[in-house]
Amino acid sequence: MSFEHGFEPTSLREYDIRGVVGKTLSSKDAFAIGRTFASLVLRSGGRRVVVGYDGRLSSPELEAALVSGAVQSGAEVVRIGCGPTPMLYFASIVTAADGAIMVTGSHNPPEYNGFKMMLGGKPFYGDQIRELGRLAAIGDVVPEAVGSSELIDISGDYVDRLLQDYDGSRPLRVVWDNGNSAAGDVLSRLVCKLPGEHTVLFGEVDGSFPNHHPDPTVPTNLEALIAEVKTQGADLGIAFDGDADRIGIVDDKGQIFWGDQILILLARDVLKSRPGATIIADVKTSQMVFDEIGRAGGMPLMWRTGHSLIKSKMVETGAPLAGEMSGHIFFADKWFGFDDALYAAIRVLGIVSRLSGSLSQMRDALPQMVNTPELRFDCADTRKFEVIEEVAGRLEKVRADVSKIDGVRVNTVDGWWLLRASNTQAVLVARAESRTEEGLERLKFALASQLQESGLATPDFSGENAGH
């Protein structure tokens, strides 16, 4: 039977394949991904593909079509069922899989879904995704064959391995906001085996997300967690995104513990056993993080935003820890180098239980910065990278202090501002940080001036400054 399939172009993203189910993404797309990706695995000399899916309402149907396509290519498919994306990564390692696909919409609204992939133990992204689309369009796949599929339950092994690295010294009172995410079943088993008192909010896996949007980087999504932490007098609160590869934390006062602050907490601990190690943070991260990593005896490294890019850089540099502002945390000291919010939570609990004071005291002792939230504004895909080049060119002419690792990050006496093109959406992303409100205003003015010179409207700076 001949096979050719064209994807909706907007669904082929930088780090995954993603779209609105019934509009830009369908079960036919899922079958084509299975058929084409499995062909790539087989052509690379492999055969085993592990597949998992999250709790979205469309995920079971998409997973079934995906498996059907992979089996038709002759792959040996290992299905792990519904669970968090990190459990899929874990399964790919312990089953020695040649490829892995997770059906997940991550932190997107309920109508979205998508596919995250690994090939040969490495992230599958960028040009590889575009090549998959090209191969599917021309039907360049292996001949039909009779593969196989089996369903296994890896969750018990995953929970046991998570617990293996818990190193707390005193029991804690913890509130968990599962946010109806795919972590629900695993989380319920995990907290039963941890010392202390644990309360789980919205523990049921529900892809309609009836309680709040599954993105812990948005403060409004943490309101229920903050309220419960305060009510209980808990030591901290922990939240997940839709597929539990990103973590959110609030301290004992109910203050949001931002992604870069989480990285400081973890870096100080990791560097005790790995002095001098490289610790990676993405380009959106506060300068305070790089300073604190250096102060703790580490080698800070600023790198491009994107979980696939971060994981690849960790392998290249041998870094035992990395983190992004978005809450992706990557451990490679005792763990496997992938982003896992459940594992990050285990490590955070151990550290908090050993603190001489509270988590809020540690947070309040950090240098206090004033910064904008992450600002996102529309810019056509055909224009967004051109704007970055224009801004970079003007800054170089005036010999500004510019890093071009990912977009432009400009250092001044007031602090820094960032402008980068999103790899996944038709938007530009901006951020600015200073030690004073006056300095921040000057940085925002400099950023706005550059945008105006490129013919773009000034971004809305009216959002509350995130002081941290």
Give the per-residue pLDDT at 465. Answer: 43
Active-site residues, by number, are 106
Following DSSP, what letter does each residue of 219-246 receive, concatenated?
A: GGGGHHHHHHHHHHT-SEEEEE-TTSSS
Tokens standing for residue 54: 């999250």
Tokens standing for residue 117: 């992939």
What pTM was estimated for this model as a whole?
0.94
- CB contact set of 356 (below 8 Å; sequence gap of 6+): none
The 10s digit of each residue's pLDDT in 357-388 is: 999 999 999 998 999 988 888 998 889 999 99
Judge whether 336 and 93 are in contact, CB under 8 Å. Answer: yes
Give the per-residue pLDDT at 462. Answer: 60
The 10s digit of each residue's pLDDT in 321-339 is: 999 999 999 999 999 999 9
pLDDT band at 79 (very low <50, low <70, confident <90, very high): very high
* Buried-exposed string 90-106: b where 16+ CB fall within 10 A, e elsewhere: bbbbebebbbbbbbbbb
DSSP 368: P
> Lowest mean pLDDT: which of 283-297, 307-321, 388-402, 450-464?
450-464
Neighbouring CB atoms inside 10 A of 44's CB total 12
> Lowest mean pLDDT: which of 86-95, 243-252, 280-289, 368-377?
368-377
173-177 and 236-240: which strand pairing? parallel
- What is the fold of 157-265+324-364? Alpha-D-Glucose-1,6-Bisphosphate; Chain A, domain 3 (3.40.120)
pLDDT band at 33 (very low <50, low <70, confident <90, very high): very high
pLDDT band at 171 (very low <50, low <70, confident <90, very high): very high
The 10s digit of each residue's pLDDT in 435-468 is: 999 999 999 999 999 999 999 987 777 654 444 5
Following DSSP, what letter does each residue of 136-202 receive, concatenated?
A: HHHT--PPP---EEEE---HHHHHHHHHHT---SS--EEEEE-TT-TTHHHHHHHHHHSSSEEEEES
Judge whether 37 and 68 are in contact, CB under 8 Å. Answer: no
Domain boundaries, given as residue ranges, for the chain = 9-153, 157-265+324-364, 370-453
Give the per-residue pLDDT at 464. Answer: 45
Mean pLDDT of all residues in 258-265: 95
Mean pLDDT of all residues in 117-142: 97
Judge whether 467 and 368 are in contact, CB under 8 Å. Answer: yes
Which residues face 29 on adjacent strands?
none
Give the per-residue pLDDT at 468. Answer: 53
Give the per-residue pLDDT at 314. Answer: 97
User: If you count them, how many residues does the chain have?
Assistant: 468
Give the per-residue pLDDT at 1. Answer: 62
Helices marked H in 73-138 — which ranges?
A: 85-94, 127-138
**How far is Cα of residue 240 from the mean position of the Cα atoms in its chain?**
10
Q: Using alpha carbons, list the distances in angstroms from residue 302 to 279, 280, 332.
A: 9, 6, 17
- Please identify which residue in the block is written with the tokens 């968090």: 84
Burial environment of residue 113 by CB neighbours within 10 A (0 to 12, 13 to 18, 19 or more):
buried
> Lowest mean pLDDT: which of 35-49, 245-259, 278-292, 445-459?
445-459
Pick the CATH number of 370-453 from 3.30.310.50, 2.30.40.10, 3.90.180.10, 3.30.70.920: 3.30.310.50
Task: Confirm whether 9-153 and 370-453 share one CATH topology.
Answer: no
DSSP 369: -
Which residues face 358 on adjacent strands?
none
Q: Using alpha carbons, list the distances in angstroms from residue 151 to 77, 81, 96.
A: 9, 7, 16
How far is residue 285's CA from residue 369's CA, in Å, rounded to a whole number?
A: 12
**9-153 carries CATH number 3.90.1110.10:** no
